[in-house]
Amino acid sequence: MPSDLSTWFASVPIVTRYWFAVSVVVPLLGRFGLINPLWMYLDWDLVVYHFQASLWRPITALIFYPVTPQTGFHWLLMLYFLYNYSKNLETGTFSGRPADYLYMLIFNWLVCAGISMAAGVYFLLEPMVLSVLYVWCQLNKDTIVSFWFGTTFKVLVLQRLCLLLQITSNYIAAIYLPWILCAFNAILRGGGMNELLGILVGHTYYFLAFDYPLQHGGMSFLQTPRFLYSYLPNEEGGVHGFGADRVNQRRGAAAGGRYFWGRGQALSFIKSITMQNDAGEIVELYVPRKCSSSNRLIGPKDHSSIQIDIVDVDPITGRMVCNHRVISILNRRLRVKVAGKATRYAICGALRRQGESDDAILRLAQRDGIIPKNL
């Protein structure tokens, strides 16, 4: 049993692992009287006017929650959401990039702590968990997720239309999951402020890191400090979203910082590509965010040969940086939204230039329901 527990603990991605661990241990220490809860909550008056005596409070407020018979179940729910969605985000969008994920948490924590001064929030664990959940929901809008009592949530993406909420006996748009949690807590516990704060913080990060650079062709305002990479370097090996094409990095370094992108197709070829998923629904063309040195768009008849370069590579960190000129062309001239979750397909496109076949792209697309499985 101890070995199974240690094996499971070691399998959790590193940032989520330690955040989850301290969020379990510290509240339990307070519950059993081993630490004084009065030393853990965030009181900005104490921080400002008794700086040296209360310097730790913005940090302890992130990992402490007052566990009582009335709040214990809610604390367990927060731990579930923390473990599930933080792990999914760290192993999905931030796969292989623990420093970038840690920087996201640091940014959310700083924004959350700052807003708490005006909102009067004393514990930051709940809004931080909601901020992570919000970012995950925004990045996985077409993913089905389960909720209390088997309720299922799903996002339906309609071509050239905004996201619509379809309420049936089985499906509700997953993008509204944070709002549903907020409504549940407002009804059952008379709260809602912590959830609203988490949604605001999560949207702030999502807008600055994803929405503004990609949808509006602007520059990214959030760049991970380089010193974090010395403590949490990008993982070598494997294929993961936002990761670097190591072969192309080495070639680029040998070419004086220039990278070989491969040959791209004319932009006019992708103007009106749509496809059907397994449910027979028409879905929009998926364009990877920033995944490899060569990004591929997936069409209904030509699964992987339509290729367009939309990123550059940071030779030091291996992080992908958007080519905003191409993004602007896609958004304004062709009216193709640069959105979607198909980051893995772009990585497959990069590997294909090294000799891999199109089968990897096809298998991933079929597994995600982007391309019907009977093709």
Task: Look at residue 139 and tell me if it is in a domain.
Answer: yes
For residue 210, give both structure tokens: 């994803």
User: How many structural domains comprise the chain?
Assistant: 2
Are 136 and 210 contacting, i.e. CB atoms less than 8 angstroms apart?
A: no
| Same-domain status, 329 and 281 | yes
pLDDT score at 354:
39
The pLDDT value given to residue 319: 47
- Asked whether residue 55 falls in the same domain as residue 118, the answer is yes
Out of 158, 184, 215, pick the residue that ends a domain: 215
Q: Is residue 27 part of a domain?
A: yes
Closest CA to 211 of 298, 130, 292, 141: 141
191 falls within a domain: yes
Q: Mean pLDDT in each 10-residue stretch from start to end of the chain (375 residues)?
A: 81 94 94 88 80 78 90 90 92 89 95 86 91 90 62 38 34 68 76 84 90 71 88 63 33 33 31 44 42 37 36 48 44 39 41 45 57 51
Residue 232 lies in a domain: no
Residue 337 structure tokens = 């939204």
Domain span holding position 20: 2-215
Query: 91 and 137 share a domain?
Result: yes
How far is Cα 4 from Cα 168, in angstroms, rounded to an integer?
40
**pLDDT of res. 100:** 93
Give the DSSP letter string of 18-79. HHHHHHHHHHHHHHTTSS-GGGTS--HHHHHHSTTTSTTHHHHHHH-----TTTHHHHHHHH
Residue 220 near residue 242 (C-beta atoms within 8 A) = no
Do 67 and 100 lie in one domain? The reply is yes
Identify whether residues 258 and 208 lie together within a single domain: no
CATH of the domain at 198: 1.20.1540.10
Does residue 130 belong to any structural domain of this protein?
Answer: yes
- Whether 227 is in a domain gets the answer no
319 and 248 within one domain: yes
Same domain, 150 and 278: no
